[in-house]
């Protein structure tokens, strides 16, 4: 396709959501689509080989975001990796694929987002999964089997299928791994359709801001790798740049909290809560010494997990526990003892943070403040999650494996001790969402059809639009949002 004067749709960001959206839009040969990606090709070995994903953090395929110091986590800052490469964060994530709870999406609909209830999004999941092909790993590590059995012994039901919207219980999760290799959003949604004449995939294109004409977006202002800036015109622009960079592009373009923008010398175009409502999951590890060598079958891939309710009166699960066959969180010992980790996480956090610009320069670092544990219920839930994980770790199914708790160790026992260990060692689960929240009124950034309130020709479709976080790892929901945006843009 020759470069048209203006594309029908420019999609910003070839990540989980953007790849799914560009696939859907370009299925109509009458619609010209440009998919713009700041990063480059996704062909390096560490992207393909699932067990090597940790080695990608902090490299040139990671945006390298860092949080502000967090009072709730002993004043620590947290690395917040985000993919800057074809496939976006699906190129460096942990590949767990879980749709979420029916109650997650019914909650969005009840909060003023009709059309996002479970029955509607379930259809979208079925559609996108024909391309993404998530699957339970074919063969399970014996230690993973023992951990899933231990969760059932601890009183959780066996859950044979997390896809049906009911999370309670322990079982096998799906992964975005096909034939033993990472199957990222680029391979799933774009590689098979790369020859569509109406689709241009342009890498090395950093979007600096929107080309605004009053309150209408007419495309994007970009900088090509090694080149100058230019405008790419579009009838409609859809931001799929993720929970940090979609708000950055909006804020740099004058769309956001007016007082914040004015303080930075940016003229406000639309006064919207861009960058507020940052929500993230947190997790921590309980590490056990193993009495047996641990096979490296499916090393560093989460095969099994469990979901639970922290109190019996809850209507949904607020704890997810992952089972890892490696030591995580504990300091390196170099003693050669094989170790495994039970990883409790909180999935319905109440703390809310912000993403802000530090100045008007799009290249300046962001101020990312997840505000971890600012709501006291989150620590209470984390303590219950740690206790439940230890119950699982103590079951007979693990008797052949468990030598003893290595980290944090049995001396960490009271609520106060557990809270101190959590604050000191807890990690982001790398699931930031919510910074361009969807909702019906001007207290939200986008409407339920993902149009930015008060701005024509502009939508956001990625993890940032979630009004509340889903109760599971966030890639499936992010991909689904991109897929569903296809319904709205094509109208």
In the complex, the residues that contact ligand FAD under the rule CB under 6 A are 12-18, 36-39, 81-84, 88-90, 92-96, 205-207, 240-243, 245, 249, 430-431, 462-463, 473-476, 478
Least CB distance to ligand FAD at residue 224 (A) = 11
Structure tokens of 481?
């949002």
Structure tokens of 207?
């979007």
Q: Give CA torsion, residues 195, 199, 202, 207, to 10 deg.
A: -160
Least CB distance to ligand FAD at residue 420 (A) = 26
> 154 vs 455, which CB is nearer to ligand FAD?
455
Least CB distance to ligand FAD at residue 102 (A) = 17
Least CB distance to ligand FAD at residue 248 (A) = 7
> 121 vs 397, which CB is nearer to ligand FAD?
121
Closest Cα partner for 170 from 183, 153, 185? Answer: 153
φ and ψ at 261, to 5 degrees?
-65, -45
What is the spatial distance between Cα 262 and Cα 275, in angstroms, rounded to a whole number? 15
> 401 vs 429, which CB is nearer to ligand FAD?
429
Least CB distance to ligand FAD at residue 404 (A) = 29
Q: Beta partners for 10?
A: 34, 237
What is the spatial distance between Cα 306 and Cα 345, in angstroms, rounded to a whole number? 10
| DSSP, residue by residue, 94-111 | --EE----HHHHHHHHHT
> 107 vs 242, which CB is nearer to ligand FAD?
242
Least CB distance to ligand FAD at residue 93 (A) = 3
Task: Quote the distance between the C-alpha of residue 333 and its chain's center.
Answer: 31
Asked if residue 354 lies in contact with residue 371, where contact means CB atoms within 8 angstroms, the answer is yes
Least CB distance to ligand FAD at residue 400 (A) = 28
> 81 vs 327, which CB is nearer to ligand FAD?
81
Task: Quote the distance between the C-alpha of residue 276 and its chain's center.
Answer: 17
Asked if residue 236 lies in contact with residue 228, where contact means CB atoms within 8 angstroms, the answer is no
Active site residues: 431
Residue showing the smallest CB distance to ligand FAD in the complex: 15
Least CB distance to ligand FAD at residue 337 (A) = 26
Residues in contact with 36: Cβ distance below 8 Å, sequence separation at least 6, in sequence order:
10, 11, 12, 13, 14, 202, 205, 207, 220, 222, 232
Q: Are strands 282-283 and 96-97 parallel, antiparallel or unpaired?
A: unpaired
> 388 vs 463, which CB is nearer to ligand FAD?
463
> 12 vs 143, which CB is nearer to ligand FAD?
12
Report which DSSP code applies to 451. Answer: B
Residues in contact with 201: Cβ distance below 8 Å, sequence separation at least 6, in sequence order:
14, 22, 35, 37, 86, 190, 194
Long-range contacts of 417-422 (CB under 8 A, 24+ apart): 418/383, 418/386, 418/387, 419/379, 419/382, 419/383, 421/284, 422/284, 422/379, 422/382, 422/383, 422/386
Q: Are strands 339-346 and 319-324 parallel, antiparallel or unpaired?
A: antiparallel
Instruction: Show the CA angle centred on residue 195, arms to residues 191 and 197, nearest 5°.
Output: 135
> 447 vs 462, which CB is nearer to ligand FAD?
462
> 183 vs 430, which CB is nearer to ligand FAD?
430
Report which DSSP code applies to 361. Answer: -
Least CB distance to ligand FAD at residue 380 (A) = 25
Instruction: Show the CA angle centred on residue 207, arms to residues 206 and 211, nearest 5°.
Output: 150
């Amino acid at each position: 396709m020759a470069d048209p004067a203006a594309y029908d749709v420019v999609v910003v960001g070839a990540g989980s959501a953007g790849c799914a959206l560009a696939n859907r839009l370009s299925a109509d040969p009458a619609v010209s689509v440009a998919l713009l990606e700041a990063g480059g090709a996704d062909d390096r070995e560490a992207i393909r080989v699932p067990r090597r994903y940790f080695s990608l953090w902090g490299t040139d395929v990671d945006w390298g975001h860092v949080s502000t110091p967090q009072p709730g986590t002993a004043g620590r800052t947290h690395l917040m990796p985000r993919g800057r490469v074809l496939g976006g964060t699906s190129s460096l994530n942990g590949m767990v694929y879980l749709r979420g709870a029916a109650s997650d999406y019914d909650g969005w609909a009840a909060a003023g987002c009709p059309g996002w209830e479970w029955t509607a999004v379930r259809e979208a999941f079925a559609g996108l999964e024909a391309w993404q092909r998530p699957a339970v790993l074919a063969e399970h590590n014996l230690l993973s089997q023992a951990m899933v059995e231990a969760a059932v012994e601890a009183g959780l039901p066996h859950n044979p299928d997390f896809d049906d919207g009911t999370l309670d219980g322990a079982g096998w999760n799906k992964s975005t791994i096909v034939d033993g290799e990472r199957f990222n959003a680029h391979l799933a949604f774009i590689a098979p359709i790369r020859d569509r004449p109406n689709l241009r995939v342009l890498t090395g294109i950093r979007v600096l801001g929107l080309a605004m004409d009053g309150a209408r977006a007419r495309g994007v202002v970009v900088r090509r790798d090694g080149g100058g800036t230019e405008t790419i015109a579009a009838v409609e622009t859809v931001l799929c740049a993720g929970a940090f960079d979609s708000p950055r592009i909006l804020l740099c373009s004058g769309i956001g909290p007016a007082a914040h923008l004015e303080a930075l010398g940016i003229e406000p175009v639309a006064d919207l809560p861009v960058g507020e409502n940052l929500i993230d999951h947190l997790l921590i590890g309980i590490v056990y010494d193993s009495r047996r060598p641990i096979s490296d079958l499916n090393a560093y891939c989460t095969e099994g997990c469990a979901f639970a309710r922290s109190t019996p009166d809850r209507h949904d699960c607020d704890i997810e526990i992952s089972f890892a066959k490696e030591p995580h969180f504990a300091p390196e010992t170099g003693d050669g003892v094989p170790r495994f980790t039970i990883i409790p996480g909180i999935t319905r956090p109440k703390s809310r943070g912000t993403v802000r610009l530090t100045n008007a320069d799009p290249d300046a670092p962001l101020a990312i403040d997840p505000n971890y544990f600012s709501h006291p219920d989150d620590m209470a839930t984390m303590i219950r999650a740690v206790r439940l994980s230890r119950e699982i770790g103590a079951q007979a199914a693990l008797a052949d494996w468990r030598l003893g708790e290595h980290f944090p160790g049995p001396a960490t026992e009271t609520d106060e001790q557990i809270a101190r260990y959590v604050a000191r060692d807890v990690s982001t689960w790398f699931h930031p969402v919510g910074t361009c929240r969807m909702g019906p009124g001007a207290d939200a950034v986008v409407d339920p059809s993902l149009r930015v309130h008060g701005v024509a020709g502009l939508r956001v479709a990625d993890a940032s639009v979630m009004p509340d976080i889903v109760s599971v790892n966030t890639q499936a929901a992010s991909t689904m949002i991109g897929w569903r945006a296809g319904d709205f843009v094509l109208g």
